[in-house]
Amino acid sequence: MPLGRSSILAQVLSVAQMRAAEEALFEQGTSVEALMETAGRGAGEYVRRIAAGRPVTVLCGPGKNGGDGYVIARHLMEHGTPVRVVAAADPATPAARNARGLYQGEVLGPDAVIEGEVLIDCLFGSGLTRPLSDSLLGLLRTLAENHHLKVAVDLPSGVESDSGACLNAGLPRFDLTVALSAWKHAHFAMPACETMGALRLFDIGVAAVPGAAAVLTRPLFTPPPADAHKYRRGLLGIVAGEMPGAPLLSAEAAMRAGAGYVKLFARARPAGVPNDLVCHAGPDADGLDDPRIAALLVGPGLGRSGAAAERLQAVLELSVPVVVDADALVLLGPGMMTGPAVLTPHEGEMAALERAFGLSADAPKHARALALAQASGAVVLFKGPDSVIAAPDGRVLHAPRAPSWLSVAGTGDVLAGITASRLAVHRDPFRAASEGLWLHGEAARRSGPAFTAGDLARTVSKAFA
């Protein structure tokens, strides 16, 4: 079945994939000029609305991003918005030269002193290959300082499309970034994504690209079937360790994320176990061989001692679908996982895993997640302000920005609990990671400012709404 337009619009493309998708449109008879016209008019309409009659300065570079800028300027002129262009360099491609030729308005050189209301950055887009020269960086920064509202077209100049790296220090921040034709990795990767302001995408009709990454969109949740019972909805076992607080937080979240039954396995019943959480007290691995267990969570509060490592080994040998988080990630090595698994590292745990699996950390975040997924055979949910999910089969999902209030102790335990709960429901690790990450972000959005991890865990059921 062909993909619907909204699935195609969720795809996230590398520069090479973007060029290939563009080539496919050319082969169907579209010209570069026509594509630039569509893209420039689309972005121009966003600019016209946001400018609301205020004068606009468009900074144009030599490539196609600059070409888009001349189309935007012409669109604004035609609709009565005052506009002028600052040309940082002469157009260097036939399409950009054509766009400049069609624009009849004012074009100033890079030395002009300009102050104004709205700045449009069309200096460089996805074609940026090296840092901006000092003079171009100076021009961009001066214009940014002298305008109130700043809009980047496709990408802010100075940002590397495939990695989200900022190739210069001191790049300006934008209020809005209008992506053209498809999302790029940089739109979701730190540090670039933080400079972009609100994100919008303008569709120019590219087709689905096989193997492309995608943005995490709202999953489809259904209530339990009419004949559901607690075991059919999934029994989740949470393996406690040396510190009781973290697995209790995971359990609070897991009980609200869909599993029919959440059971805490601890050596002794910890203080503060809520009445609605069943606790199985006994020695290591006691009770974990219950065939009704659909999924396990191990790691939060586990500890890093020899005893903790043995406990982890015993859990992984059961080959039950498992979420491996926190301390367990630091104890994990090649060959230890025997069943379906989700790993949920933050940056520090990722670095430990890369050492254990002999992987390089010198790559964009999504590529690091994918390399670990392929080396370990597990789905990897690499957390942070720019969380990303990768599967061994090559699927990659970027999360949209989540509230930075999540940067508080214990929210990782909540994410692990939600993800494990989803895994107990359907035993599909990639789906569990996607649903877990989405519910976690949505619970954070619904929790308002300055929440605790406990508040977040108690908000998870509302995120289903």
Ligand X SMILES: NC(=O)C1=CN([C@@H]2O[C@H](COP(=O)(O)OP(=O)(O)OC[C@H]3O[C@@H](n4cnc5c(N)ncnc54)[C@H](O)[C@@H]3O)[C@@H](O)[C@H]2O)[C@@H](O)CC1
Ligand Y SMILES: Nc1ncnc2c1ncn2[C@@H]1O[C@H](COP(=O)(O)OP(=O)(O)O)[C@@H](O)[C@H]1O
Which chain residues interact with ligand X by CB under 6 A?
A: 18, 22, 35-36, 39, 61-68, 92, 124-133, 153-154, 180-181, 204
Q: Cβ of residue 445: shortest distance to ligand Y, in angstroms?
A: 11
Footprint (CB under 6 A) of ligand Y, residues 391-430:
402, 404, 406-407, 409-413, 415
Task: Show binding-site residues.
Answer: 64-68, 121, 125-131, 154, 157, 246, 301, 346, 383-387, 412-413
What is the rounded distance in angstroms from the CA atom of residue 423 to the CA atom of residue 257? 10
Examine residue 387 and tell whether it contacts ligand Y (CB under 6 A).
yes
Footprint (CB under 6 A) of ligand Y, residues 333-352:
346
Select from K ion, ligand Y, ligand X, none the partner in contact with residue 383, using the beta carbon and a kind-dependent cut-off of 5 to 8 Å.
ligand Y
Examine residue 55 and tell whether it contacts ligand Y (CB under 6 A).
no
Q: Cβ of residue 265: shortest distance to ligand X, in angstroms?
A: 52
Examine residue 108 and tell whether it contacts ligand Y (CB under 6 A).
no
SS3 string of the chain? CCCCHHHHCCEEECHHHHHHHHHHHHHCCCCHHHHHHHHHHHHHHHHHHHHCCCCEEEEECCCHHHHHHHHHHHHHHHCCCCEEEEECCCCCCHHHHHHHHHCCCCEECCCCCCCEEEEEEECCCCCCCCCCCHHHHHHHHHHHHCEEEEEEECCCCCECCCCCCECCCCCCCCCEEEEECCEEHHHCCCCHHHHCCEEEEECCCCCCCCCCEEECCCCCCCCCCCCCCCCCCCEEEEECCCCCHHHHHHHHHHCCCCCCEEEEEECCCCCCCCCCCEEEECCCCCCCCCCCEEEEEECCCCCCCHHHHHHHHHHHCCCCCEEECCHHHHHCCCCCCCCCEEECCCHHHHHHHHHHCCCCCCCCHHHHHHHHHHHHCCEEEECCCCCEEECCCCCEEECCCCCHHHCCCCHHHHHHHHHHHHHHHHCCHHHHHHHHHHHHHHHHHHCCCCCCHHHHHHHHHHHCC
Q: Which is nearer to ligand Y, 126 or 411 (CB)?
A: 411
Binding-site string for ligand Y from residue 146 to residue 165, where x marks contact by CB under 6 A and - marks none? --------------------
Q: Cβ of residue 48: shortest distance to ligand Y, in angstroms?
A: 33
Given the rule CB under 6 A, which of 66-74, 120-128, 192-200, 377-385 is the region that contacts ligand Y? 377-385
Q: Cβ of residue 329: shortest distance to ligand Y, in angstroms?
A: 10
Q: Cβ of residue 157: shortest distance to ligand X, in angstroms?
A: 8
Examine residue 228 and tell whether it contacts ligand Y (CB under 6 A).
no
Q: Cβ of residue 68: shortest distance to K ion, in angstroms?
A: 8
Select from ligand Y, K ion, ligand X, none the partner in contact with residue 121, using the beta carbon and a kind-dependent cut-off of 5 to 8 Å.
K ion
Footprint (CB under 5 A) of K ion, residues 314-373:
none
Examine residue 191 and tell whether it contacts ligand Y (CB under 6 A).
no
Which residue's CB comes closest to ligand Y? 412
Select from ligand X, ligand Y, K ion, none the partner in contact with residue 67, using the beta carbon and a kind-dependent cut-off of 5 to 8 Å.
ligand X
Select from ligand Y, ligand X, K ion, none the partner in contact with residue 384, using the beta carbon and a kind-dependent cut-off of 5 to 8 Å.
ligand Y
Chain position carrying tokens 């050492």:
355
Examine residue 121 and tell whether it contacts K ion (CB under 5 A).
yes
Binding residues for ligand Y, how many (CB under 6 A)? Answer: 16
Q: Which residues contact ligand Y (rule: CB under 6 A)? A: 346, 383-385, 387, 402, 404, 406-407, 409-413, 415, 440
